[in-house]
Structure 1
């Protein structure tokens, strides 16, 4: 339970209020660097967990929860500072809240969850780029954000399909006759 990857994940939870305090104080670019630090701990905890065989059920649940919680904090800070529209914030929030709720629901029901895949990781990276563009007020930032929102909805659909496929296979009656 208490291993380096899980401790890094817990540190990521602590970076959420740090991000919000720094952002609210008006140090928006510094807040972005806290966000990057959170992203780095995410990459590092996953790498260490897989490389050293330290993947745990707790870490598998907390890691995406930390990611989504940070993203929700970022969304709220950007919308309240009027850096993004309410429509974009709602689209991002509903997607992430749905992922958190679904993950928690299935975890506590003892169901297997679909691990992060390349599409989900790509979506996270694209969100970081979108946030960078918005914070630094670069051209086409909002158009790019809507592109990323579209990609994130697509990856959510893929996760749902993978989850359904995983549980259809798990629930399928097995034949007693084994092919030879």
Structure 2
């Protein structure tokens, strides 16, 4: 069983902080049409996301802060990159809306869970695959901008991964919604006998 610590300063958390700092740098490079450097930044950011997860599990550095910080930075990174790419005309705004609306729905589940005494739901493996697809798709799309000669190959791959990631994102969202409804229903069922007893 994985032990979750209360430590704040861990290697995975430092890597997550680095990814957070890289977001405005990436957007500045993208807006300046320095696509080669933007590609390097987005690749480094994506790699550190995978590395920090490996380190956390391999060296028992899973922390409560990391469980919140890592997915939060992932989402912020994905949102920022999507908006940046859409702003530069590499992505349509409807794809940005599809992904953002899904996460707004997940955020809306938080108060519902909290009102019933539950914390955030654990990340489902479909959610992890969706995030992986998007984190791989976005650099691939930037790759085509940095090296137009290979765009004919990289763009279809990037688009396929982006659409697949968006689909899995919503599928995982449906699972989170179902799990939330199950927890709420189970709590109501558990409280029903107590309510009947009080009423007699």
TM-score normalised by length of structure 1:
0.79
Structure 2 counterpart of 1:116, from 116, 123, 127: 123
Quote the residue 2:35 is aligned against: 28
Counterpart-to-counterpart distance in 1, 2:57 and 2:94: 37
Instruction: Identify if the C-alpha distance between structure 1 residues 143 and 105 changes in structure 2 by more than 3 Å, giving closer, same or farther.
Output: same
| TM superposition shift of 1:108 | 7.2
**CA contact 2:43–2:139 (8 Å) conserved in 1:** no
Please say if 1:7 is aligned against 2:24. Answer: no
- Determine if the alignment matches structure 1 residue 149 to structure 2 residue 156: no
**Offset, 1:165:** 4.0
Separation (CA, whole Å) in 1 of partners of 2:80 and 2:27: 7
Q: What do you get for the CA RMSD once the two structures are aligned? A: 2.8
Aligned mate of 1:40, from 39, 47, 56: 47
Is 1:57 the counterpart of 2:64? The answer is yes
8 Å Cα contact 1:9-1:42 kept in structure 2: yes
SS of the equivalent of 1:55 reads coil
> Which is helix-richer, 1 or 2?
2
- Structure 2 unaligned runs (5+)? 1-7, 145-150, 192-200
Q: Is the 8 A contact 1:75 1:92 kept in 2?
A: no
- Checking the alignment, whether the CA contact within 8 Å between 2:130 and 2:164 is kept in structure 1 is no
Of the structure 1 ranges 54-63 and 108-117, higher mean CA displacement relative to structure 2 is found in 108-117
SS of match in other structure, 2:70: helix
Distance, in Å, in 2 between the alignment partners of 1:62 and 1:97 is: 17
Assess, with a 3 A threshold, how the Cα gap between structure 1 residues 19 and 97 changes in structure 2: closer, same or farther. farther
Do structure 1's residue 125 and structure 2's residue 132 form an aligned pair?
Answer: yes
Pairwise CA distance, 1:71: 0.5
Shift in Å at residue 60 of structure 1? Answer: 0.9
Shift, 1:128, TM fit: 2.9
* Kept after mapping to 2: 8 A contact 1:72/1:96: no
SS at match of 1:90: helix
Aligned-partner Cα distance in 2 for 1:171–1:50: 35
TM-score, length basis structure 2? 0.72
